[in-house]
Amino acid sequence: MTDDRVLWGALQRYLPRKKWIPIAEILATVQSRIYLDEEDLERAGAASGTLRWESNVRRLLRLMVHAGRVRAREKQ
C-alpha cells in the first residue's frame, strides 16, 4: 500500500501551489502520477465504493488541513 509520504510527495510535486484544486483533479493527478499496488486498488470498506488510495488521499488532506499545511475551501 502506498504510504502517506509518497502520496504527499506526489501532491507537492504535481499540483500547483496557492490555488484551490477540485478533489476530482487531485485524485486524477495522484492516480496518473504514482504506481498504485493491488492493496491500493481494494475497496476502502465492505460497503464503500471508494478505493483505498482515494480514502488515503482524502484522509491525508484532512490531516494537512489540521496541521496548517494546506487550506480547505471555505463552505458557502
Q: Residue 76 above 60 pLDDT? A: no
Nearest residue to 29 (alpha-carbon basis) of 45, 9, 44, 43: 9
Residue ranges of domains in the chain: 4-67
Give me the percent of the chain exceeding a pLDDT of 90: 82
CB 57 within 8 A of CB 26: yes
- pLDDT per residue as tens digits for the range 1-51: 999 999 999 999 999 998 999 999 999 999 999 999 999 999 988 888 899
Quote the cell numbers at residue 29: 493527478
Alpha helix locations (H) across 15-51? 23-33
Burial class (CB in 10 A: 0-12, 13-18, 19+), 57: buried
Give me the percent of the chain exceeding a pLDDT of 70: 97
